[in-house]
Amino acid sequence: MADMKIGVLGAAGRMGQALVRAIAAIEGCAIAGGTERKGSPAIGRDIGEVAGIGAVQKKIGGDPDVLFANSDAVLDFTAPAATPEHAALAAKGKTIHVIGTTGLDADQTKRIEAAARDTVIVFAPNFSVGVFLLTTLTEQVAGILGPDWDIEILEMHHNKKVDAPSGTALALGAAAARGREVELAKVSERGRDGITGARKSGNIGFASLRGGNVVGDHSVIFATENERLELTHRAAGREIYARGAVRAALWARGKPPGLYTMKDVLGF
């Protein structure tokens, strides 16, 4: 089978560069090209040179339409306003769309779900295998421990991250809620400040930290009288997300249209 041609949206960003390096390093893949926002100084530059792997004879462009038309799959870790538009392009050309964008609202998510009726979309807040296992364990532990155990989710990211809590933290909260057979929206507690009163029993709390160049730390804390259990994942580099995204693209080849997650990719 010919190498899978994989394109990267936002190719000059830190995550975009990591995705380009992963495509180049993983057998069975070929770099199809990449895009950047209009006006970016990266447009016209060789995508491999921008990613630090040397020239690959593919220039970064400014037109996502062209990238989708020339790719078997496109990796998208961009912005909530752009990703649904990209999903529509994927649906139009029947191109595999791998989405790691976080901070999407309900309407944006619905637009992605609609696009998945016509093409394969793999959508995950985090493409790390370790984070997937953390999410699975969180659901199991929440289901085992009783309501006298408080659940708190703590996440820390670099100082350039624009959304909070992180998409991964929200996915962990949703997993904990599933384990307890409750709706996260009804028990979510965020942003404590001032005189808040005692913690409400059964709530799932979130706390977000921002600083430095932290790639992503996530902890789920289960606390009760005289006892605390913590499940933690720390990412040391974006490469773990990039490898997972490329793995998802390769897995998606030949699959019927639909909206898939890392649970599907990993066979759980």
Span 129-235: which CATH code?
3.30.360.10
For the segment 98-154, what is each residue's pLDDT rounded down to a tens digit? 999 988 999 999 999 999 999 999 999 889 999 999 999 999 999 999 889 999 999
Largest CA-CA distance found in the chain, in angstroms, rounded: 62
Distance of CA 18 to the CA centre of its chain: 14
Distance CA 78, CA 36 (A): 10
For the segment 62-110, what is each residue's pLDDT rounded down to a tens digit? 999 999 999 999 999 999 999 999 999 999 999 999 999 988 999 999 9
Span 4-123+238-266: which CATH code?
3.40.50.720
User: Which residues 6+ apart lie within 8 Å of 110 measured at CB?
Assistant: none
- At 1, the pLDDT band (50, 70, 90 cuts) reads confident
| DSSP state string for 217-267 | EEEEEEEETTEEEEEEEEES-THHHHHHHHHHHHHHTTPPSEEE-HHHHHT
For residues 168-187, average pLDDT: 96
Distance CA 109, CA 125 (A): 12
Q: Is the peptide bond before 147 cis (omega within 30 degrees of 0)?
A: no
Distances, alpha carbon 150 to alpha carbons 96, 134, 186, 187, 258, in Å: 40, 18, 15, 11, 36
Residue spans in the chain of domains classed CATH 3.30.360.10: 129-235
Catalytic residue ranges: 157, 161
Residue of 176, 262, 261, 169 whose CA lies nearest to 217: 169
Residue spans in the chain of domains classed CATH 3.40.50.720: 4-123+238-266
For the segment 23-37, what is each residue's pLDDT rounded down to a tens digit? 999 999 999 999 999
The model's pTM: 0.84
Residue 205 has pLDDT above 80, yes or no: yes
Q: How many CB atoms lie within 10 A of CB 215?
A: 18
| DSSP state string for 81-109 | TTHHHHHHHHHHHT-EEEE------HHHH
Answer whether 131's CB lies under 8 Å from 266's CB. Answer: no
Answer whether 204's CB lies under 8 Å from 183's CB. Answer: no
Q: 46: which DSSP letter?
A: B
**Tokens 């696009």 sit at which residue?**
115
pLDDT at residue 191 in the model = 84
